[in-house]
Structure 1
Amino acid sequence: MTEVTGKEALERVKTLVEDIDFTMLTTQDAQNRLVSRPMSTREMDDAGDIWFFTAEDTQKVDDVQRDHDVGLSYCDAKGMRYVSVAGRASVVHDRAKMEELWTPSLDIWFPHGLETPGIALLKVTPLDTEFWEPAHGKLVMAAGMLKALVTRDTPDDTMNHGRIVC
């Protein structure tokens, strides 16, 4: 495994998070059970914060207000790319940030746009982030695995791995 660190790792995480888009957001409910649900990423900003739109009258908002610790799991199985984020979440009411992040595709969940009652942003500040992706690209890795099946050799399944601890 090839380790990627520092600015290069942060740039890779930003690209992966924004390319993969959907993540599973994991919170802890009032009974201390882990609960996950899909969320669409709007942005990972230059500070490393990851932004989502949400409605305030949801379990995830209740969970985050009770316990700010959350997990994000991004998975692109076809591309063999993965990101895991342990972070702290907060509910944000910043109209300018909402306007910056708004896209028409959000009308599905928020039919009145930014005027939808109870609309808010969920900001996740990463504390510990890890990612994995093929070091030589998906096609090279797949070809190596196919070759290994035929030759009975060990495949070159080298993955880039990075970790950012804040």
Structure 2
Amino acid sequence: MTEVTGTEANARIKDLVEDIDFTMLTTIDADGNLVGRPMSTRQMDENGDIWFFTSDHTKKVDEVEADHDVALSYLDAKGMRFVSVAGTARVVHDQAKMQELYTPSLDIWFEDGLDTPGIALLRVTPVEAEFWEPAQGKIVMAAKMVKSLVTHDTPDDTMSHGRLSD
């Protein structure tokens, strides 16, 4: 496995988070159960914070306010690209940031756009983040895996891995 570190890993995580778009946001409910739901990423900013739109009147907001620890799981199955983020979440009511990030595609969930009562942002600040993706592209990875089936060797350099660093 090819290891990527430092600013290269941080930049790659940002690219993947913004490119994959949908993630599973996992929170902890009042009974201590892990609860996941899909969310559409709006941005990973220059500070590394990941931004989503939400409504104040949701269970996820109640869960985040009770326990700020969350996880994000990004998956691009066709591209064999994965990102895992452990972080802390906060509900944010910043009108300027909402105007910056809002797009008409969000009208599906927010009927009155930015005037929708209870509209808010969810900011996830990563504590740890990792990614995995093909080191040399999907075709090369597939060829190495087929070769491994024939030779019974383990393909150890098919994936690239990186970890968020401070």
d(CA) in 2 for partners of 1:27, 1:154:
36
Offset of 1:155 from its aligned partner? 3.7
Residue 95 of structure 1 corresponds to which residue in structure 2?
A: 95
Tell me, yes or no, if the aligned pair for 1:84 and 1:131 is still in contact at 8 Å: yes
- Consecutive unaligned residues in structure 1, runs of 5 or more: none
Residue 6 of structure 1 corresponds to which residue in structure 2?
A: 6
d(CA) in 1 for partners of 2:86, 2:149:
36
Offset of 1:157 from its aligned partner? 4.8
Residue 115 of structure 2 corresponds to which residue in structure 1?
A: 115
Tell me, yes or no, if the aligned pair for 2:18 and 2:42 is still in contact at 8 Å: yes
Offset of 1:145 from its aligned partner? 1.9
Q: Which digits, 9 at most, give the CA deviation of each residue in 1:59-90, with x for residues without a partner?
A: 00000000000000001111111111000000
Q: Aligned runs of 1:48-127 on 2, under 5 Å? A: 48-127=48-127
Q: Which digits, 9 at most, give the CA deviation of each residue in 1:78-116, with x for residues without a partner?
A: 111111100000000001000100111101100110000
Distance 1:165 1:28, change over 3 A: farther
Tell me, yes or no, if the aligned pair for 1:144 and 1:156 is still in contact at 8 Å: no
d(CA) in 1 for partners of 2:131, 2:156:
19
Report the number of matched residues: 166
Task: Say whether 1:45 aligns with 2:45.
Answer: yes
Offset of 1:12 from its aligned partner? 0.2
| 3-state SS in 1 of match to 2:148 | helix
Q: Which digits, 9 at most, give the CA deviation of each residue in 1:135-165, with x for residues without a partner?
A: 1111211122234345555445521111125
Q: Which digits, 9 at most, give the CA deviation of each residue in 1:116-146, with x for residues without a partner?
A: 0100000000001111111111121112223
For normalisation by structure 2, the TM-score amounts to 0.94
d(CA) in 2 for partners of 1:119, 1:35:
21
- Consecutive unaligned residues in structure 2, runs of 5 or more: none
Paired-residue identity, %: 73
Q: CA RMSD in A?
A: 1.4
Amino acid at match of 1:10: N
Task: Say whether 1:16 aligns with 2:16.
Answer: yes
d(CA) in 1 for partners of 2:156, 2:31:
44
For normalisation by structure 1, the TM-score amounts to 0.94
| 3-state SS in 1 of match to 2:98 | helix
Q: Where do 4+ consecutive residues of structure 1 move more than 3 Å?
A: 147-157
